[in-house]
Amino acid sequence: MTQLALVIDLNVCVGCHACVTSCKQWNTSSEKAGPLFDDRPYGEDPTGTFFNRVQTYEIGCFPNTETLHFPKSCLHCEDAPCVPVCPTGASHKRAEDGIVLVDYDKCIGCKYCSWACPYGAREFDEYQKVMKKCTLCVDRIYDEKLPESERKPACVLACPTSARLFGDVHDPESQVSVAIREQGGYQLMPEWGTKPANHYLPRRKTRMHIHEDELVRTDNPLKKEDIRHGTSDDVTLDDWLM
């Protein structure tokens, strides 16, 4: 069974928000998800419906501080707690690819699904009064009019550091499964047993170890400069210049 998901590589995410607005622009004009409402777009406290946000955390104390940029969207949980609580069946998890979706025609806007999501992944559209969320760009990834390389969520295509991998986490050979397996991919809030399909790859550090003898080498160029303060009284340029 297929379970599509994103794997987000925190090792390379620089927090540029490309995934945030590329998602917004794709989905606001999307026939599946749009329009995405913006309230007070030019006023005080502008706010709008976004499916994806990038947050910033500081870990540790100066000078041993890590700054972590942390993108978060719907994690498409395998055991999605938001689905069974929906009274209308609007919130559903597709059997064929594991994407958790909301059918806006069925949604009554009771917000109960969002209460049942520990991750805060759902956003209520204050204009349409229905619950919205990341669709994994379901209207892109199967669109055969697009070249195959572009049948990916907008955020994945946009991400300048390719920090967002997309694929089937149930296929052990997929790029995402390999990344999770080999790079310590983890899930958020594992304590709830929601089994998020999206995974995160942790920071990795490359260090350099220097041995004492690497500093002292026989080919040290300083050895070529055995300082001789000799002057040349006998030879001048005129001696050899034509």
By CB under 8 A, the residues from 69 to 108 that bind other proteins are: 69-70, 72, 81, 83-90, 104-108
Instruction: Please identify, using beta-carbon distances, which residue of 1 and 189 lies nearer to other proteins.
Output: 189
- Least CB distance to other proteins at residue 83 (A): 8
Candidate residues 95, 144, 173, 228; the one interacting with other proteins per rule CB under 8 A: 228
CA-closest candidate to residue 51, choices 36, 29, 32: 36
Measured from the CB atom, the residue of 85 and 178 that comes closer to other proteins is 85
- Residues facing residue 179 across a β-bridge: none
Task: Please enumerate, as own/partner, the contacts of 178-185 that have beta carbons within 8 Å and a separation of 24 or more.
Answer: 179/7, 179/9, 180/7, 183/9, 183/11, 185/7
- Minimum gap (Å) between residue 89 Cβ and other proteins: 5
Q: Interface mask (CB under 8 A) for other proteins, residues 7-36, using x and -?
A: ----xxxxxxxx-xxx-xxx-xxxxx-xxx
| Residue 2, phi-psi category: left (phi > 0), alpha (psi -120 to 50), beta (remainder) | beta
Choose which of 144, 148, 173, 237 interacts with other proteins (CB under 8 A): 237
Range 111-145 burial, b when 16+ CB lie within 10 A, else e:
eebbebbbbebbbbbeebebbbbbbbbbebbeeee
Where do we find the tokens 């794997």?
A: 7
Give 4 or 18: the residue with its C-beta nearer to other proteins. Answer: 18
Question: How many whole angstroms from its chain centre is CA 82?
Answer: 22
Please state the closest distance from residue 133 (CB atom) to other proteins, in A.
11
Find the radius of gyration of the CA atoms of the chain: 28
Binding mask 164-203 for other proteins (x = CB under 8 A): ----------------------xxxxxxx-------x-xx
Number of residues in contact with other proteins under rule CB under 8 A: 135
CB of 170 to other proteins, least distance (A): 21
Q: Are 40 and 47 in contact (CB under 8 A)?
A: yes
Stretch that binds other proteins, among 93-101, 169-177, 207-215 (CB under 8 A): 207-215
Task: Write out the binding residues for other proteins, residues 117-136 only, by CB under 8 A.
Answer: 117-120, 122-124, 126-130
